[in-house]
């Protein structure tokens, strides 16, 4: 017999876990958790990380003098080793930016290759809650 996964799991809409949905991916400030959502909830922590990365990508694209649509079109047309993973369309990028779609590890790797700010977010200990570090071995 196959065990069924619990409803909800880790397929979720990240912006549903933040207090101000319209703020998602548009502010360099950390977002607050939605009412009833614990700040230690892994889904909120993932939403917080996605918010920070989405904002860094948006700012990085703007610094290149491009729109998100121009950026995706240019990168996908390049067909180099640094081109986006298959499936990263303008529509999907906008949904990730708004927190409507959960980003994937391939997205993080792709953006970390392009933007120093994304790499900095991923490696900065301050972006990982203290509870994540408490279980580290000495």
Q: Hey, what's the torsion of the CAs at 106, 108, 112, 118, to 10 degrees?
A: 170
* 127 or 122, which is more confident: 122
Asked if residue 136 belongs to a domain, the reply is no
Per the structure, how many domains does the chain have?
1
pLDDT confidence of residue 65: 94
Asked whether residue 108 is assigned to any structural domain, the reply reads yes
Tokens at residue 51, please? Answer: 């918010």
Domain span at residue 55?
A: 14-127
Contact 39, 23 (CB under 8 A): no
Give the three-state DSSP class for 33. Answer: strand
pTM of the model: 0.82
Q: Is residue 91 included in any domain, yes or no?
A: yes
| Residue 96 covered by a domain | yes
Q: What is the pLDDT of residues 38-94, one digit of tens each?
A: 998 989 999 999 999 999 999 999 999 999 999 888 876 666 555 667 778 899 999
Q: Is residue 47 part of a domain?
A: yes
Residue 34 in domain = yes
The per-residue pLDDT for 4 is: 52
Q: Is residue 4 part of a domain?
A: no
Taking the C-alpha atoms of residue 112 and residue 106, their distance in angstroms, rounded to an integer, is 10
């Amino acid at each position: 017999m196959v065990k069924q996964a619990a409803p909800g799991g880790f397929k979720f809409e990240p912006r549903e876990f933040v207090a101000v949905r319209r703020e998602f991916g548009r502010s360099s400030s950390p977002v607050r958790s939605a009412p009833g959502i614990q700040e230690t909830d892994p889904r909120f922590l993932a939403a917080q990380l996605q918010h920070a990365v989405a904002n860094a990508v948006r700012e990085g694209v703007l610094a290149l003098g491009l729109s998100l649509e121009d950026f995706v079109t240019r990168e996908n047309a390049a067909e180099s080793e640094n081109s986006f993973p298959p499936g990263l369309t303008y529509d999907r990028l906008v949904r990730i930016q708004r927190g409507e779609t959960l980003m994937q590890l391939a997205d993080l790797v792709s953006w970390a290759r392009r933007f120093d700010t994304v790499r900095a977010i991923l490696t900065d200990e301050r972006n990982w809650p203290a509870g994540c570090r408490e279980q580290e071995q000495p």
